[in-house]
């Protein structure tokens, strides 16, 4: 012991930085159990996050409804008014995709920096720290609820009924999006403690990721008809968010190939069939969503394992 202490002092004297490698002390299974036992703390953190976000705000949670409505209005003006998109009820189609995307994006983006942003709590209080990343996803779920209320208003005003047969699939896609966002949030939050550029990199990636999803453009017309003949459609589905977006659109928008009016060269309008969504059966959507769910669950287990490996040095890095 004396020799080891002397060697340690000598290394300090030479200015060498000593790095302590910490192995996870509990298994992934135990971590899941601790998260479940801390579910009340999770709910409390979600409520606190929402209160802090709208503290001293006159409208409060109403902003969570106004913001998506304004975003939707901008996209509507750009794509349907300026660019002349004549797809029937395009605003419903657009909002259906934005619903699940906003949940995923907000959960991942907020969750990535949550450990660093709560460094004071992480260093002083003992609790399952994964809860912080999961609370960020939980807050995104609350905002999803208010945005869904705006969606219902649009459906009523535009007299566009969803396809009720696909409601169970929508719930499956919603659960899958939450698990996928939670897995990425837990994984990236631990990496961001050591590599602070991760948070900024994720913001850039999410911006590009948005345009890789069929949200502002019709999947069947712009992707399906071009990649299917070449046998490359599977490449597009390497994006796990794509099946979730298509499921939301299939349920809420409810039209596979609607008929609308297309402007002719002479200024008149002629009925035209718009290829919007793939003409898959119910089971095809089930297969895709379950496939993404399996990937999300596997990623969640990996994220917990990586988090457990890295959290030992959180206090020193923060």
Average of per-residue pLDDT values in the chain:
82
Q: Encode pLDDT of 135-171 as tens digits.
A: 999 999 998 998 898 888 888 888 888 999 999 999 9
CA-closest candidate to residue 240, choices 166, 199, 279, 298: 298
CA-closest candidate to residue 318, choices 108, 110, 122: 122
The pLDDT of 101-124, averaged and rounded, is 88
**More confident site: 34 or 54:** 34
- Domain segments of the chain: what residues? 40-317
What is the DSSP code (8-state) at residue 237? T
Q: What is the CA radius of gyration of the chain?
A: 24
Q: Of all residues in the chain, what percent carry a pLDDT higher than 90?
A: 35
pLDDT value of residue 59: 63
CA-closest candidate to residue 227, choices 242, 241, 216, 207: 242
Tokens 């409804």 appear where? 65
Q: Encode pLDDT of 8-40 as tens digits.
A: 344 444 444 444 444 455 778 888 888 888 888
Specify the pairing of strand 259-263 against strand 269-273: antiparallel
Token pair for 309: 């490996």
Q: Encode pLDDT of 291-308 as tens digits.
A: 999 999 999 999 999 988
Q: Are 109 and 139 in contact (CB under 8 A)?
A: no
Q: How far apart are CA 74 and CA 214, in angstroms?
A: 18
DSSP string, 284-308: HHHHHHHHHHHHHHHHHHHHHHHHH
Q: Is 287 left (phi over 0), alpha (psi -120 to 50) or beta?
A: alpha
Q: Going by C-beta distance under 8 Å and a sequence separation of 6 or more, which residues neighbour residue 114?
A: 132, 133, 135, 136, 185, 189
């Amino acid at each position: 012991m004396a020799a080891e202490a002397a060697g340690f002092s000598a290394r300090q004297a030479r200015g060498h930085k000593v790095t302590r490698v910490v192995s996870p002390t509990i298994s992934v299974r135990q971590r899941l159990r601790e998260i479940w036992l801390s579910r009340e703390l999770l709910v409390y953190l979600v409520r606190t996050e929402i209160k802090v976000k709208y503290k001293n705000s006159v409208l409060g949670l109403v902003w969570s409804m106004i913001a998506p409505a304004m975003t939707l209005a901008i996209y509507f003006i750009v794509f349907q008014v300026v660019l002349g998109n004549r797809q029937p009820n395009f605003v419903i189609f657009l909002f259906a995709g934005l619903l699940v995307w906003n949940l995923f994006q907000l959960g991942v983006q907020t969750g990535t920096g949550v450990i660093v942003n709560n460094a004071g709590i992480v260093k002083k209080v003992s609790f399952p720290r994964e809860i912080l990343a999961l609370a960020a996803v939980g807050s995104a779920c609350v905002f999803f609820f208010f945005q869904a209320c705006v969606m219902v208003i649009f459906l009523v005003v535009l007299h566009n009924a969803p396809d009720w047969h696909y409601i169970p699939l929508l719930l499956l896609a919603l659960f899958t999006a939450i698990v996928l966002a939670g897995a990425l949030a837990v994984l990236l939050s631990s990496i961001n403690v050591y590599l602070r550029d991760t948070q900024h990199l994720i913001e850039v990636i999410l911006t590009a990721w948005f345009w890789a999803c069929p949200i502002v453009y019709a999947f069947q017309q712009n992707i399906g008809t071009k990649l299917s003949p070449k046998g490359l459609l599977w490449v597009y589905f390497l994006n796990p968010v794509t099946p979730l977006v298509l499921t939301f659109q299939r349920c809420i928008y409810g039209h596979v190939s609607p008929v609308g009016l297309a402007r002719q060269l002479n200024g008149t309008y002629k009925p035209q069939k718009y290829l919007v969504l793939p003409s898959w059966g119910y089971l095809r959507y089930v297969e895709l969503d379950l496939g993404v769910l399996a990937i999300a669950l596997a990623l969640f287990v990996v994220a917990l394992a990586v988090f457990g490996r890295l959290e030992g040095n959180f206090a020193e890095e923060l």
